[in-house]
């Protein structure tokens, strides 16, 4: 496969390269792509040096797959240009997620929906991915009626500027004007403010959890409310998820379903103080689930604690898994009528 990574110098782009290497993805030709200010920089991939190229040069080379992590406006402008030359784009931004003509894919749940005609495929939001991986088998068996979600999201989800802000504050320095990713310090603080505020007083991040979950689980009747909080954690996102099911459930069956679910690792041994934490999720691809317990305040209620590395399964790994599915099922590198 001729593979382009667009946004290769960014935080997620760097992890995408790492994941491609680790999973031994079949790359015959590697194209590192970034904005004009990064053209000419050197990137090391599989021990070999590559120079970063621009969008036009990458499109001219017509890669089989282009994995994007370069922001929504960049994706809106350039993803169709790649698709026009037959490239299959896997996009990590929010640009295409709610487009009714684009698939929003978590491989463990709905990769089977993909066809060779899907030239732009959306990678869901990080906090959505880890939640639906855990919830999908439970929804299938007990039918989710309502979700109440509280997230505790790593500053790494905001990108390189947030990492630099945190590192400066941790060392005791006050970031200068232009160095702040947030309105307030993130070190030793929690910010109930992920992404921008919308007219309904929720943040964009909170509404992503609502809309994307409904689309991935193919259920527009799901009732979902969320509060997203940015925390001074390097390693992953954590989520407290309260679920109300339509059907009654047995706790033993719930835990069995979670332990058998693809991509999930059940870590739920409170007698030995074993439960998911970002400290142990960092640099791993699994979604860790624990603190599984019945909500005794309502009928058919359940509480879950869900943790995953937001840069890996929440972004890079999920995108590479989509690419792997496309290759395994011979859905890339082919010319389709709609290409």
Q: Is 46 helix (H, G, I), strand (E, B) or coil?
A: coil
One domain for residues 291 and 322: no
Q: Which residues are catalytic?
A: 126, 237
One domain for residues 214 and 260: yes
Q: Phi/psi zone of residue 131: left (φ > 0), alpha (ψ -120 to 50 degrees), beta?
A: alpha
Q: What pLDDT is attached to residue 58?
A: 97
Note whether 102 and 226 are within 8 A (CB).
no
Residue 221 in any domain: the answer is: yes
Element (H, E) at 75: helix 72-84
Q: What pLDDT is attached to residue 79?
A: 98
Give the contacts of 273 (CB within 8 A, at least 6 positions apart): none
Burial class (CB in 10 A: 0-12, 13-18, 19+), 248: exposed
One domain for residues 74 and 103: yes
Task: Determine the Cα–Cα distance for residues 75 and 172; give it in Å rounded to an integer.
Answer: 37
Task: Determine the Cα–Cα distance for residues 144 and 246; give it in Å rounded to an integer.
Answer: 6
One domain for residues 187 and 294: yes
**Ordered DSSP codes for 283-307:** T--SEEEEEEEEETTSTTEEEEEEE
One domain for residues 149 and 287: yes
One domain for residues 198 and 236: yes
Residue 334 in any domain: the answer is: no
Residue 267 in any domain: the answer is: yes
One domain for residues 37 and 113: yes
Nearest CA to 324 among 70, 31, 24? 24
Q: What pLDDT is attached to residue 174?
A: 94
Burial class (CB in 10 A: 0-12, 13-18, 19+), 18: middle
The residues with which 65 forms a beta bridge, in sequence order, are 3, 88
One domain for residues 206 and 80: no
Q: Is 173 helix (H, G, I), strand (E, B) or coil?
A: coil
pLDDT in tens, the chain (339 residues): 999 999 999 999 999 999 999 999 999 999 999 998 999 999 999 999 999 999 999 999 999 999 999 999 999 999 999 999 999 999 999 999 999 999 999 999 999 999 999 999 999 999 999 999 999 999 999 999 999 999 999 999 999 999 999 999 999 999 998 899 999 999 999 999 999 999 999 999 999 999 999 999 999 999 999 999 999 999 899 999 999 999 999 999 999 999 999 999 999 999 999 999 999 999 999 999 999 999 999 999 999 999 999 999 999 999 999 999 999 999 997 554 343
pTM, two decimal places: 0.95
Instruction: Determine the structural domain holding residue 41 and report its residue range.
Output: 2-124+315-328
Instruction: Pull the structure tokens for residue 297.
Output: 């305040």
Residue 189 in any domain: the answer is: yes
Residue 338 in any domain: the answer is: no
Residue 335 in any domain: the answer is: no
Note whether 72 and 6 are within 8 A (CB).
no
One domain for residues 300 and 243: yes
Task: Determine the Cα–Cα distance for residues 80 and 100; give it in Å rounded to an integer.
Answer: 16
One domain for residues 141 and 284: yes
One domain for residues 182 and 283: yes
CATH number at 100 reads 3.40.50.720
Query: Domain tally for the chain?
Result: 2
Note whether 141 and 330 are within 8 A (CB).
no
Biggest CA–CA distance in the chain, Å, is 60
CATH number at 139 reads 3.30.360.10
| C-alpha dihedral, 65 to 70 to 71 to 77, nearest 10° | -60
Residue 97 in any domain: the answer is: yes
Q: Is 194 helix (H, G, I), strand (E, B) or coil?
A: coil
Sign of CA dihedral 122, 123, 126, 130: positive
One domain for residues 275 and 177: yes
Residue 333 in any domain: the answer is: no
């Amino acid at each position: 496969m001729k593979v382009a990574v667009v946004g290769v110098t960014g935080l997620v782009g760097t992890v995408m390269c790492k994941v491609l290497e680790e999973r031994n993805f079949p790359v015959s030709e590697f194209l590192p792509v970034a904005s004009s200010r990064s053209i000419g920089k050197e990137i090391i991939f599989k021990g070999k040096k590559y120079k970063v190229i621009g969008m036009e040069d990458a499109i001219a080379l017509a890669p089989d797959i282009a994995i994007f992590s370069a922001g929504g406006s960049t994706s809106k402008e350039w993803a169709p240009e790649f698709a026009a030359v037959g490239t299959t784009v896997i996009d990590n931004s929010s640009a295409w997620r709610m487009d009714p003509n684009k698939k929003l894919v978590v491989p463990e749940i709905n990769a089977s929906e993909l066809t060779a005609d899907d030239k732009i495929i959306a990678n869901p939001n990080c906090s959505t991915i880890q939640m639906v991986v855990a919830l999908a088998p439970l929804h299938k068996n007990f039918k989710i009626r309502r979700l109440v979600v509280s997230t505790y999201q790593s500053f790494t989800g905001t990108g390189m500027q947030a990492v630099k802000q945190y590192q400066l504050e941790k060392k005791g320095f006050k970031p200068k004007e232009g160095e702040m990713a947030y309105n307030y310090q993130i070190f030793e603080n929690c910010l109930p403010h992920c992404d921008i505020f919308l007219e309904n007083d929720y943040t964009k991040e909170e509404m992503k959890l609502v809309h994307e979950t409904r689309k991935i689980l193919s259920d527009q009747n799901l009732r979902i409310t969320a509060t997203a909080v940015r925390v001074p954690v390097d390693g992953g996102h954590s989520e407290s998820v309260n679920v109300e099911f339509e059907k009654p459930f047995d706790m033993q069956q719930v835990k069995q379903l979670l332990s058998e679910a693809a991509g999930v690792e059940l870590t739920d041994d409170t007698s030995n103080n074993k439960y998911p934490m970002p400290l142990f999720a960092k640099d791993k691809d699994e979604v860790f689930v624990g603190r599984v317990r019945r909500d005794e305040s309502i009928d058919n209620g359940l509480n879950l604690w869900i943790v995953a590395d937001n840069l890996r399964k929440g972004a890079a790994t999920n995108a590479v898994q989509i690419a792997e599915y496309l290759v395994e099922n011979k859905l890339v590198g082919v010319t389709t009528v709609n290409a």
